[in-house]
Amino acid sequence: MKLYIAEDEEWIRRGIKKMIRWGELSMELAGEADNGVLAKEEILKLKPDIVLADIRMPGMDGLELVSGLKGMTDTKFLFISGYKEFEYARKAVELNAVSYLLKPVDPEELNEVLHTAVNEIMKERQKELTGGEQNYLLKVLEEQIIPEEEEERFFTVLLMPGDANWITDELHEKFLAVLDSFRNKGMKGELHRKSRDEYVIIFSASTRQAFKLHLKHCLEALCSLIPVKTIWSLGNTVDRMSDIPLSYNQAWQAYIHRPLNYTEGIISYEEMDTTPTFMLPLSEETEKIWAGAVMGEEHKMMQEVDSLFLKVKELDGVGIQNLVDFVFYMVLDFAGRIQKRGVGTSCYYELCQELSGRRFQVKNVQEVKQWLERLLADMCRDLKKEQAKSIQAAVEQISSYIDKHYMEELSLGGMAEMVWLNASYLSSSFKKVKGVNFSDYIMQKRLEKAAELIRITSMGIGEIAGIVGYDNVKYFSRIFSRMMHMTPSQYRETQKEQ
């Protein structure tokens, strides 16, 4: 925002310049004059936004200056005067002056009046822009209308995601002030709230050179206003208004596929690889996390989560969106496995929906990790409760199966899959319930059946060994002897004697 001072007393001009809080108002001095004639000439040339003019000046007074410029400029005028006459104030009002200040000028009053003038100018400019172009460009971005291409212009879109209402009224004013400061440099920036938690700025310029010279500085000025770390993204510059949606989509692509280590700043579509990585080679780590959950070992499960995220950081070409998608589908898979166990999963699906709804607002890797840890902790506790109730039934189901299929090739892993338990957890639980481990239980059943066949049939020892599941007769005889304290043949002889 540019200010011009027209005051015939040099010491008053110097005092006014010291009073003004230039930085706070985002204002700069365009020029100054000690008479109305020179002031008129320079105002037409420099096009300041605001003129602070003395009523009484040699050559041409302040009122004549404003009257002579009427219709030639949109500049706002503030008058200062040492005269309290009502007639001066009345004429100032007729000339649409923003305010009328009396000398000696009060610093607070001066800055307040300038602040009001700045706000009025920005509001007017936000509304005008040739026939409501602001809303027009937003409609172009949202593809509600197809523009008629006219003069050559260049556009680019800055995406600014954030929490709801993250741009306060005060910050909004500061943003507008920064954008307005670049208008006279040939670059416009239009701030729009596109959705509840998404703002965009549509930049436009008549030349690419204007973007090259000023866009970087404008973005730096905007970022400096944000008190916390934030990530924005920028689409490519396009040379047609109809391509504004393309620049917007590119900004989104840059944002959602940003590198995992990108935690602050503005990332542009032009500088990054947005080729998505749909599959992450982390199936082994995923299964270890699941194993920890199934075994009810929350601490071990969280250690595996730490390992997974360390592995993720080592992978090349993985963006934040790839990680979000991976975690999202991993949790859905876990929820499906849990559902097969009869455990309620509605809360997990709700959390997945929550992540899905926020997937494009995720700020960093730590946020994804914390979300996953919170969900897995709940999942682990639910599984422990369910398993405490069902482990007895699961072991009984397996032992009943063994009683009928003892002669077959049975494995702990196969039995664990049958009851949807981790093999290691099943092994410890089986021994706790039955008093013997899994393999010993199978051996007992086989030898019990073998002893029965030896007693009631005349089948050979080798044939009986095969029937109960042993191909090696010597091995069968050895374990039979260990259990019965006699060989199969000796056992048959003792049974005959009885």
**pLDDT value of residue 346:** 58
Q: Which of 233, 129, 137 is nearest to 192 (CA)?
A: 137
Q: By CB neighbour count within 10 A (0-12 exposed, 13-18 middle, 19+ buried), where does 367 fall? A: middle
Query: Is the backbone of residue 296 left (phi > 0), alpha (psi -120 to 50) or beta?
Result: left
Q: What is the CATH number of domain 391-497?
A: 1.10.10.60
pLDDT in tens, the chain (498 residues): 789 898 888 888 888 899 998 888 878 888 998 888 888 888 888 888 888 888 778 878 777 777 777 767 778 888 787 765 545 555 655 555 667 777 788 888 888 888 888 888 776 665 554 345 557 777 777 777 777 666 678 999 999 887 656 778 888 888 988 998 888 788 999 888 887 778 899 999 988 888 888 999 999 999 888 877 788 899 999 988 888 888 988 888 788 777 776 778 888 888 775 554 445 677 888 888 888 887 778 888 899 999 988 888 777 767 777 788 788 778 777 877 777 666 655 556 666 666 665 655 666 788 888 888 888 888 887 777 766 666 778 888 899 999 999 899 899 988 888 877 778 888 888 898 889 999 999 999 999 999 999 988 989 999 999 999 998 999 999 999 998 899 999 988 888 766
Under 8 Å CB-to-CB from 244, ≥6 apart: which residues?
Answer: 137, 140, 141, 155, 157, 202, 238
Quick one: CA torsion of 14, 15, 16, 17, rounded to 10 degrees?
A: 50
pLDDT (tens digit, 9 = 90+) per residue, 172-195? 888 988 998 888 788 999 888 887
Whole-number Å distance between alpha carbons of 430 and 415: 11
Give the CA distances from residue 155 to residues 208, 259, 407, 419, 458, in Å, rounded to whole numbers and listed in that order: 9, 25, 77, 61, 96
Query: Is the backbone of residue 342 left (phi > 0), alpha (psi -120 to 50) or beta?
Result: left
Whole-number Å distance between alpha carbons of 23 and 333: 55
Domain 2-126 CATH class label = alpha beta
Domain 128-271 CATH class label = alpha beta
Whole-number Å distance between alpha carbons of 471 and 467: 9
Amino acid letter at 45?
Answer: K
